[in-house]
Each structure stands twice: as C-alpha cells, then as structure tokens.
C-alpha cells in the first residue's frame, strides 16, 4: 500500500504511542520513515525507534519553533527531495487546563493548548507543503479525539481538538488545489503515556468497550494505525477534509450502553474522555 513512500511521523514517545504503531505499519507496507523528537523526550523517541522493523532517524522538532520546522523541511529536502505524507500526532495541554476546572483556566494555558495541539497542524502543513506538492501531492493526517461533545475533565484539550478539526478543514481547502490531502483520524481511547495524564482515562477505557458496537481494546492501536496508513496511501486519493472515526462505532451510539447486550453506562453517564496524543 505504501511501497516506496517517504513519510514523516511525529509523536512517537514510546512503543505504546499510536504514532509508533503507525510507523511500524507504514514500514511493513513498504514506506521509508523518519521520526521527530523534542528536547529531553527525544531520547525516548530514539529508544522506541530502535524497536521498529527498520530503525529510522529521529529529527529534532519543537512544533512551536519556526526554526525547527524550517530545519526539518530543509533536512527532508536534502535527504529525499520530496515527501509523500506526514502524521501529525502532537497535542499538549498544561495541567491546569484539564481535570474539570474549565472556568478557572487562565488564558496562557488555554493558548498553549491551542498552539501546540491545533495551530501546529497549520504550521507543519505550511512548512512541508512544498515537499508534498513536489511529489504530485501527498497526504497530511492528524490524530483527533471527537470534539463534537463536551467531555468531563477534557476541558481545554477538547476545545483545542475542536480547533484542530476546523484547522484540518481549512488546510484541506487551501492545500487541495496543490494536490495535498488533509484528514484526521478520530480514535477511541488508547493506553499511551499521554493518555495516562488525562483524569478519568481508566473509567473511559473500561466503559468504551462496553458501549462501542464493535467493542474496543484500548491496548491495541493497530486499527488506528492502519486507518492512518490508508489515508496516506493512493487508495484515499479522493478523500480530504474528512474525519475518519476509528473507535469501534462509539461515536454513532446516542445512548451509551445500548450498543452491546448487557452493557451499561458508568454511573448513568458517559465517563471522562482521554484523547491527548503524545
């Protein structure tokens, strides 16, 4: 599916990262991959990279740094001369922007969540569009968590994800004439290092599998990774501005617990959601 493709994968922190599963599936499908890391966590990325089928290079990228973004674009230009696809798997919200104190969160924390989690998609696309266009059009895929609802405890990360969804649509509008597709994958809760920092993740993960019609295994990121690979492939050549839900069908069920026989909501309501992506 991705034979000969050249992909930039952000967001690999550990082997449990969704981005790690994407990199693994992409390599198995024939792609050549480069990862990005940032600051002290780059060591973790480099360690995880060694566990991939073909250990890739790791480039320094703070997505909020214009210099880093330009540096990655220059490196990919000299290395490959073009690019076929990018995974945006980056999100962050300060501690005071999560956990149920929505009304108390100050502007600086909310702005940091927006810049890192949503504006960064535009920044990445802006710097890499020339490389993607040069290869007769490529794909940008971002990791999302359903922003159509207000989730308990998710707070300003939920707002940032809503901004991410809107950003993806505007990017699809502006990059489409250049042959570049922009899509999101809205995943169910997956056990990652980032998810562990979201209040209520344990309750959500347990209840999600009961409510989703297909069930849901929060320890298995492979269905999400394969959907990302599909969107980065020529098989999705006519798809842009889309949000593809890979969540066992949870998003389609109006009454949690009604989708699977014998399942019940937790305390009569949907539990807190966790969708921050490392």
Token pair, residue 278, equals: 């490392």
Tell which residue, 230, 200, 194, has the closest CA to residue 89. 194
Q: Are 29 and 35 in contact (CB under 8 A)?
A: no
Q: Is 161 a catalytic residue?
A: yes
Token pair, residue 25, equals: 């599936």
Helix axes 66-79, 120-134, angle to 10 degrees: 20
**CA 172 to mean position of chain CA atoms:** 16
Which of the residues 92, 107, 154, 170 is marked catalytic? 154
Q: Are 119 and 160 in contact (CB under 8 A)?
A: no
Q: Is 6 a catalytic residue?
A: no
Token pair, residue 1, equals: 């599916």
Please, which residues have CB within 8 angstroms of residue 40's CB and are 6 or more apart in sequence? none
Which of the residues 6, 16, 92, 161 is marked catalytic? 161
- Phi/psi at 32 (nearest 5 deg)? -100, 135
Token pair, residue 134, equals: 């040069």
Q: Alpha-carbon distance 256 to 81, whole Å?
A: 48
Which are the catalytic amino acids?
Answer: 154, 161
């Amino acid at each position: 599916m991705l034979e000969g493709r050249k992909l930039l994968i952000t967001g690999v922190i550990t082997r449990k990262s969704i981005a790690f599963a994407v990199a693994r599936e992409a390599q198995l499908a024939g792609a050549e991959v480069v990862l990005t890391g940032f600051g002290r966590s780059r060591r973790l990325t480099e360690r995880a990279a060694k566990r991939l089928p073909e250990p890739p290079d790791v480039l320094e990228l703070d997505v909020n740094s214009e210099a880093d973004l330009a540096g990655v674009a220059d490196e990919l230009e000299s290395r490959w001369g073009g690019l076929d696809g990018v995974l945006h798997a980056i999100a962050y919200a300060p501690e005071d922007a999560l956990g149920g104190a929505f009304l108390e969160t100050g502007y600086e924390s909310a702005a940091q969540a927006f810049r890192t989690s949503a504006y960064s998609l535009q920044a990445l696309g802006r710097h890499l569009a020339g490389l993607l266009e040069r290869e007769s059009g490529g794909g940008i895929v971002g990791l999302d968590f359903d922003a159509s609802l207000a989730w308990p405890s998710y707070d300003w990360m939920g707002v940032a994800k809503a901004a991410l969804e809107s950003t993806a649509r505007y990017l699809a509008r502006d990059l489409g004439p250049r042959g570049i597709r922009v899509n999101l994958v809205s995943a169910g809760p997956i056990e990652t290092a980032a998810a562990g920092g979201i209040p209520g993740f344990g309750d959500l993960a347990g209840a999600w599998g009961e409510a989703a019609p297909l069930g849901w295994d929060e320890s298995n990121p492979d269905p999400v990774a394969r959907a990302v690979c599909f969107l980065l492939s020529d098989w999705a050549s006519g798809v842009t501005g889309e949000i593809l839900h890979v969540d066992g069908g949870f998003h389609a069920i109006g009454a949690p617990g009604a989708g699977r026989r014998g399942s019940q909501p937790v305390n009569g309501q949907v539990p807190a959601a966790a969708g921050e992506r490392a």
